[in-house]
Amino acid sequence: MALSYRRRSGVWYCRGTVRVGRETFTVPEFSTGCSSRADATSTGSAEEARIRAEYFEGPAGRAKRVAIAECFAAYLRRPGGVQTYDADRVATLNEAIGARPLAEAAPAWREFLARQTGAPATAARWRNVLSAAINEGCKALVIPNPPELPPI
């Protein structure tokens, strides 16, 4: 089944499957936000192209689009949870660098560290929490880990 379109309340919706080689990807129904079928078809084609490109790029290509915040979310959802003080650190780190791409984790860490004051042991704890979140996020999202964070 390829992508199919249907109209509800004047807006076109798209859903179906996309085949790439032997793989089949299910596209859950989503609103195209378009009132004309031609525009909806164009939006559906763009989604299909995005799925194909992501498939051919592989895990390294997906890693370029992942935000550090997604790693923090995976870290907080991990089995066993996290300690309250680590959750507070994750929240602070997320506010400061969460919107940055995962590929920019090292420069983001350097900028965060430059704004912090305190003992080296405190900075080491911040680095350990960030590193653990990145490792857990990469494992959960099945993407390669970025280069190591610079030492303190």
Q: Which residues, at least 6 apart from 54, have a Cβ–Cβ distance to it below 8 Å?
A: 61, 62
pLDDT digits (tens, 9 = 90+) for 84-123: 888 999 999 999 999 999 988 999 999 999 998 889 999 9
Q: Which two tokens stand for residue 123?
A: 């900075």
> pTM of the prediction?
0.68
Q: Which residues, at least 6 apart from 13, have a Cβ–Cβ distance to it below 8 Å?
A: 5, 6, 7, 29, 30, 31, 32, 40
C-alpha 33/C-alpha 126 separation (Å) is 42
| Residue tagged 């859903």 (tokens) | 15
Please report, as a single letter, which amino acid is at residue 120.
Answer: P
What is the average per-residue pLDDT within 57-85?
Answer: 85
Instruction: Report the candidate in 132, 117, 143, 135 with the shortest Cα–Cα distance to residue 54.
Output: 143
pLDDT at 65: 81
pLDDT at 1: 60
Instruction: Check whether 63 has a pLDDT greater than 80.
Output: no
